Amino acid sequence: MGAVLVRTRVGDCGTDCESAREIASADLRRFALRLTLALASTIVTLLVVEGIVRLAHYLREDRRSLEVQLQSSRAQAQSSMHDLDLGDIVQPSRHAGIVYELRPNVRGRFMGQPVVINSQGLHDYEYSRRKEPGTFRIVGVGDSSLFGWGVPFEDSGLKVLERRLNEKSRAQKFEVINFAVPGYNTAMEAETFVQRCLEYAPDLVLLNFNTNDYDVPDFMRLPRDLATLRKSYLVDLAYSVYQGVMGMAGRQPPPFDFRNRTTALRQAARLDEDPALPNEYRYMVGAKGVVRALERLAGTARERAIPFVVFDVKGYPGLDSTYVRDEWRDGQRELLERESRRLGFHFLNTYPYFIDYLNRHPNANLRTVFAVSETDGHPNTLAHSINAEAIFNYLVAHQLLPLDKASNRDH
């Protein structure tokens, strides 16, 4: 009877164990099904979001050709003092290497300030191409910061410099003509000097550099390939958000670093291989493009014995206790300085003038004092004034101006 009882218990255990295994197997299948559904839902959701991001890019991008974009606002921009955007104040250039230039005779408000483009397509007074006897003529080439983005015309650095030069000189007349255009890079600036500035017979040239001069404006790029499977726009968006959060958590970027177009370090080494860059602009970008442009400027200036002054704002340790080296942006500026000296240019770093101002005004904040706004790092009226002072002092100290001895003593 004991043997029968044992067999019965074993048989019962076998039945129970089998049931347990079946229950466990069913639970595992249900878990696998839920996991599969969850993964499938996640993948579908990500694909939908990816599609939404791509659709948003499509709706936001102007996919017309560059020439059509630059011409589309021409009629509107000729009217009275209304708000203008960049497309309203520029037009295609007849010089392929310049690409686009300011549209002549535009009147309106640009970046919150009245803007007047003269009959020659310059953000400046009317100047005759023919230089009058007894006139010392300086031309400035650069991008939006030298142009005077967001500041009154009379407060832009070149106009401040012109007034100061004429106040200091009793016998010599000075003209400082602004050829800067928002969005230009060094290659476009070099072409502007060769094709346009030389017509005005300059006696001295000022070239302003910014760290976005390694690249081209976004509107000169090809429309994004929204059908590509080689990249995820959602991942790019997430990475941009991450960079933004990390930037907010860290130190504020200094003025004059226009990060909306400054090339990221991870993209910089092969910038000229970017598939979104039209072939005709590849020679402009990256370190090679900048060096090539500087060499062209140097050759042209040397032929005509025209002094060239390159100026920039580059932080470095010793003046600012909060300075933290930025390998990419500081590396650009260091290359600019090395190449400028190699090519025989004068080089001016205006950074010490800004630090001197901060030292004399300890309650001042680097961004709020020198930038147009908290969100726009372009130099404001004060920054333009400081740059003008730095340039004036440099030109006098290096005897690049025909000032009389009395004027030099006054300085």
User: pLDDT (tens digit, 9 = 90+) per residue, 221-254?
Assistant: 877 655 666 566 566 666 555 555 554 444 444 4
Query: 183 pLDDT band (50/70/90 cuts)?
Result: very high
Q: Report pLDDT for 315.
A: 76
Q: Report pLDDT for 231.
A: 61
Q: Alpha-carbon distance 290 to 231, whole Å?
A: 29
Q: What is the mean pLDDT of residues 373-388?
A: 91
Q: Report pLDDT for 251.
A: 41
Query: 23 pLDDT band (50/70/90 cuts)?
Result: confident
Q: Read off the tokens for 76.
A: 């509107």
Residue with tokens 């970027």: 253
SS3 content of the chain, % helix, strand, coil (to 5): 50, 10, 35
CB atoms within 10 A of CB 140: 28
CB atoms within 10 A of CB 203: 20
Q: Read off the tokens for 91.
A: 């037009």
CA neighbor of 143 nearest in space, from 94, 107, 205, 188: 188
CB atoms within 10 A of CB 256: 24
Query: 331 pLDDT band (50/70/90 cuts)?
Result: confident
Yes or no: is domain 132-217+272-410 CATH 3.90.550.10?
no
Q: Which of 63-67, 134-138, 244-248, 361-365 has the lowest mean pLDDT?
A: 244-248
Q: Alpha-carbon distance 396 to 375, whole Å?
A: 35
Q: Report pLDDT for 83.
A: 84
CA neighbor of 175 nearest in space, from 209, 126, 142: 126
Q: Read off the tokens for 230.
A: 């080689």
CA neighbor of 144 nearest in space, from 256, 299, 11, 272: 256
pLDDT greater at residue 209 or residue 370: 209
Q: Report pLDDT for 371.
A: 86
Distance from CA of residue 388 to its chain's centroid? Answer: 21
Q: Report pLDDT for 230.
A: 59
User: Containing H/E element for 216?
Assistant: none
Judged against a pLDDT cut of 60, whether residue 259 lies above it is answered with no
Q: Alpha-carbon distance 145 to 378, whole Å?
A: 6
Q: Report pLDDT for 34.
A: 86
Judged against a pLDDT cut of 70, whether residue 184 lies above it is answered with yes
Judged against a pLDDT cut of 50, whether residue 87 lies above it is answered with yes
Judged against a pLDDT cut of 80, whether residue 65 lies above it is answered with no
Residue with tokens 């907010």: 248
SS3 call for 346? strand
Judged against a pLDDT cut of 90, whether residue 30 lies above it is answered with no
Query: 257 pLDDT band (50/70/90 cuts)?
Result: very low
**Percent of the chain residues topping a pLDDT of 70:** 74
For all residues of the chain together, what is the average pLDDT?
81
Q: Alpha-carbon distance 362 to 343, whole Å?
A: 39
Judged against a pLDDT cut of 80, whether residue 336 lies above it is answered with yes
Q: Report pLDDT for 67.
A: 60
Residues in the chain: 411
How many Cα atoms are found within 13 Å in the side-chain-facing hemisphere of 352? 7
